[in-house]
Amino acid sequence: MLQLGDATTHLLTGTDMRKMEPHRYFTSILIVLAALVGCSTQNKLQIIPSRGHMYLGESLTFLCKAGSEGTMKWLNGEDEEIQSDEIKEIDESTISIGLTADSLEPRVIKCHMEYESGETEETKLTLSIIEKSQFVGDLEKQKTFSSGTSVQLPCQAKGIPLPKISWIRNGETVPSSQGHISVSTDGTLNINNIQLADSGVYSCRAWIEERKEEAFRNVSVIVNAPPTAWFQNSDLNVNLKSDANLTCRVTGHPLPKVTWTRGSGPVTHDGQKYVLSATGQELSVLQLDVSDEGEYICSAQNKFGQVSATLTLQVIEAQTLSKGVLIGIVLLIILVLLLVIDLTCYRTKRRGFLMFLTSKVLRNQIPQVKLEENEKKASAEKSHVVKISGVEA
């Protein structure tokens, strides 16, 4: 009989475990764990692993470990001894059983121990059958719809317990309430009056909250729509000799082909007068001349329709000042300068600039000016009077 110590030594020494069969390797691991448990627990009956969750279709080996030697057996929920080739006696205190989760019904296994002293002990483990989330039915990875139609994308999943279904778009959960985009109680995604803006990747999420387990299935939604074309402003005024940038905003799927016309002729890219972007939605008219004025028509077309938009371009000349206005500005500047000079002369010479200029050029004293000079002269003579012993000299 294989003893626990022999199994532990066999596992931890130089044996190449890679050559062992998977179930033997797993059983050996359990034996070591049982030995470690037995070192710290006496007369305590334990089933390892102690958690009884098994995935549907999964096979697991369970160990029953006692603290001392005795007679051991496995019982079912009705206390009947289980007879199976998958039951192995490891040693006098350890017994194993191999089980396969082939039924959805939970089951109970019991480990019964009768010690050499005559005492008995029993422990049980309830096996719960669980199943990972699996999507049911065929959900195509890509779906194409016409704009204006109503769309339903069903999504169902199975699992134990039953997963909850939700839809995610652009990192946000689609609300279940009724609206433009909503989710039914059965997990169906509904899009009413689908539009081009509703295109994108939608993810169906199957979520089992008890195990924090989730699975995703993505579907790419493509919306076919006729083209639309418009200008942000239908009139554009640009200065002469400048460049005009005309942007035609276009939507639609498949991506519309954009062309430009002016008058009765097409506008094409020549790199000198006209420059078109790679998408054709932007037209630059270089070095504007008056002859460039007029209507520019942007046309967008795909297999679902054609549409056009019109922009009116007006070339304006730069504003220039007339000769009369320039003369007026010069005269105003001269007048301001004269006023500044006149005020400066009045503050320093006590006379205006014109009086000062007249007195200097014509050497002719103005009576008022002469009177002021006489007063200044008399004041200067008075300041030379000398007082001696209280008598003026």
Residue 51 lies in a domain: yes
Choosing from 270, 294, 316, the residue where a domain stops is: 316
Q: Do 180 and 256 have their domain in common?
A: no
Q: Whole domain around residue 189: which residue ranges?
A: 137-224
**Residue found under tokens 């002016």:** 262
Residue 389 lies in a domain: no
**Are 114 and 41 in the same domain?**
yes
Task: Supply the pTM of this predicted model.
Answer: 0.61
Same domain (yes/no): 88, 196: no
CATH number at residue 205: 2.60.40.10
Instruction: Please tell me whether residues 302 and 271 are part of one structural domain.
Output: yes
Domain boundary among 174, 197, 224: 224
How far apart CA 362 and CA 315 sit, in angstroms, is 60
Of residues 319, 267, 257, the one with CA closest to residue 294: 267
Looking at the structure, tell me whether residues 284 and 327 fall in a common domain: no
**Tens-level pLDDT at each residue, the chain (393 residues):** 333 333 333 333 334 444 445 444 444 554 444 444 444 445 589 999 988 889 988 999 999 999 889 999 999 999 999 999 999 999 989 999 999 988 777 789 999 999 988 899 999 999 989 999 999 988 889 999 999 999 999 999 999 999 999 999 988 999 887 789 999 999 999 999 999 999 999 999 999 998 899 999 999 999 999 999 999 999 999 999 999 999 999 999 999 999 999 988 999 999 999 999 999 999 999 999 999 999 999 999 999 999 999 999 999 986 666 678 888 888 899 988 888 887 787 777 666 666 666 666 555 555 554 555 555 555 555 555 444 444 444
User: In degrees, to the nearest 5, what angle opens at C-alpha 327 toward C-alphas 323 and 333?
Assistant: 145
Q: How many domains does the chain have?
A: 4
Residues 150 and 215 in one domain: yes
Asked if residue 350 and residue 303 are part of one domain, the reply reads no
Q: What is the CA radius of gyration of the chain?
A: 51
Same domain, 125 and 10: yes
**Structure tokens given for 141:** 């990875």
**Alpha-carbon span 222 to 201, nearest angstrom:** 9
Q: Tell me if 236 sits within 8 A of 246, measured CB to CB.
A: yes
* Domain-terminating residue out of 316, 339, 356: 316
Long-range pairs for 18-22 at CB < 8 Å and ≥24 separation?
none
Residue 78 sits in the same domain as residue 106? yes
Q: Please indicate, yes or no, whether residues 18 and 125 belong to a single structural domain of this protein.
A: yes
Residues 127 and 156 in one domain: no
